[in-house]
Structure 1
Amino acid sequence: MNGQPAYHPGVCNIGDDETRLRRNLGWAGFAAALLFAAPVIFCGLPRGVRLFVAIPVFIAALGFIQAKMHFCAYFGLRSLVNFRDAGATPEAIWEERLRALDRRQAWRIIGYAAAVTAAVTAVLWLLP
């Protein structure tokens, strides 16, 4: 056993390399959110401009949540798995019961990321 995660429908659909990519996506989104939010808040730009921070915050939340859960929402919606090297062609899941579990988990992850995005954006909106 090499310690690599294995496919579990609705629980785990990516291996270590893909998980690392999702974590890096989270950090990139986080950095972009900070780089965007700081000048918007401290330079007194119109409050409505703060709403645009939602885009990198959503990317950050989605990346970190997918990495933590070892589950790619896109792969889940497309019924794919990849436990090989990142960038390798993912394998298809054909059994409808398994596909339904994966889709449910994918939408759950998207919902979590949307909730985090709404909370962070609301806090930024309320800052003076």
Structure 2
Amino acid sequence: MAGYQPGVCNIGRDERRKRRVAGIAGFLGAAAYVAAVLWFGLPDRYVLGSFAFLFGGFVGVFQDYFRFCVAFGALARYDLSGSSDDAGSVTDADAVARDRKRAAQLLTYAAVSAAVLTALAYAAVTAL
């Protein structure tokens, strides 16, 4: 990717790496949380709390995969550090609208994915 593309790419290699690491941390946090619920014998419904960690994990990995930062999209910014070293603000109204639409899509993907995985984790724990 050579540069910023509205609704398609607003982060470069360095920013993608940050989001990938944050996403992995979210998934590890979810696993640790579920393990703690099981270890301490807490009620099964506490597993539903893993949704927050899973949501964060999916937001991070989806931002990496799609090369698009949700916050930058909402704030009309881009940062292609590590790719073209170009960063700045988006001023074109159409580009801002496309970025915000893409940001909402990624958040929806993350919420649905986290909900499905949370439901699967809950079903698995209640089956124990």
Matched, 1:61 2:58: yes
SS in 2 for 1:36: helix
- Per-residue CA deviations over 1:42-70 (Å, capped at 9, x if unaligned) read 54311221111111101100000000000
- Per-residue CA deviations over 1:55-106 (Å, capped at 9, x if unaligned) read 1101100000000000000100111000126xx9x51101100000000000
Structure 2 match to 1:46 = 43
| 1:28 Cα deviation after fit | 0.6
Count of aligned residue pairs for this structure pair: 123
Structure 2 match to 1:31 = 28
SS in 2 for 1:50: helix
**Runs (5+) with no aligned partner, structure 2:** none
Aligned letter for 1:27? I
| 1:119 Cα deviation after fit | 0.3
- What is the root-mean-square deviation in Å for CA atoms of aligned residues? 1.8
Instruction: Give 4+ residue runs of structure 1 displaced > 2 Å after superposition.
Output: 41-44
Structure 1 match to 2:11 = 14
| 1:39 Cα deviation after fit | 2.4
Question: Do 1:18 and 1:83's aligned partners in 2 also have CA atoms closer than 8 Å?
Answer: yes
Instruction: For 2:96 and 2:13, locate their aligned partners in 1 and report how far apart those are by CA, in whole Å.
Output: 21
Structure 1 match to 2:100 = 103
**Runs (5+) with no aligned partner, structure 1:** none
Instruction: For 2:38 and 2:104, locate their aligned partners in 1 and report how far apart those are by CA, in whole Å.
Output: 32
TM-score, normalisation: structure 1: 0.88
SS in 2 for 1:81: strand
SS in 2 for 1:91: strand
Q: Could you tell me the percent identity over the aligned residues?
A: 34
Matched, 1:73 2:70: yes
TM-score, normalisation: structure 2: 0.88
Instruction: For 2:92 and 2:42, locate their aligned partners in 1 and report how far apart those are by CA, in whole Å.
Output: 51
